Amino acid sequence: MQQANALYLVLDMQNDLVHEDGPNGKGPLGEQVRDRQILAKTAAAIKQAREAGVLVGFVRVGFSAGYPECPPNSQVFSAAPQHGLFKLGEWGTEIHPLLEQREGDIQVVKHRVSPFYSTTLQAQLRARNITRIYCSGVSTQAVVQATVRDGHDRDLEMIVLEDLCAAHSAEEHRNSIQSIGRFCKVETAATVTFARP
């Protein structure tokens, strides 16, 4: 039988959202990312995960030219075309350069909040026999919550690195972590031990 594997899934850490020169980098989310030192700590966690033999994956939100996948009635995504956000193949949808990607990493492009919705994530998890997911990223109230809840309902062991997540305010982050605590184990970069199940 194939050995079970673990994955550290880095969520939406793309330039449009977390780079200081990106459109969100100058707003409340970018301020939280800087104040919480999310980029440097995530880079260190990626290195730690690789050294422990844990797979690494990156999720990004992106839309094709003309935004055919963008939902016009979404409060989250409907303004993206007007502001030129999340365009696949452009700088904004690239993972922040401080976060090392390697050939063989899991890559997921999503068009909704959850990385499980209409993506290849589930197929990639099955192909690699992944049963445990460590995750972190932005924003806590959106992709982190969705990943934890959807992963839980797919019988995956979910572990959130709380201090590597950020929302648009410290209060929103705290409330989000509190609301998903029943569906995952909450760790920090200092307390987590990356390991296979």
Q: For 60-108, how does the pLDDT look when each residue is reduced to its tens digit (9 = 90+)?
A: 999 999 999 999 999 999 999 999 999 999 999 999 999 999 999 999 9
pTM, whole model, 2 decimals?
0.97
Separation between Cα atoms, residue 174 and residue 163, nearest integer Å: 10
* Mean pLDDT of the chain, nearest integer: 96
Give the pLDDT band (50/70/90) at residue 16: very high
From residue 45, alpha-carbon distances to 3, 51, 74, 100, 122 in Å are: 23, 10, 33, 11, 23
139-168: pLDDT as tens digits: 999 999 999 999 999 999 999 999 999 999
Separation between Cα atoms, residue 33 and residue 175, nearest integer Å: 17
Q: Is 82 left (phi over 0), alpha (psi -120 to 50) or beta?
A: alpha
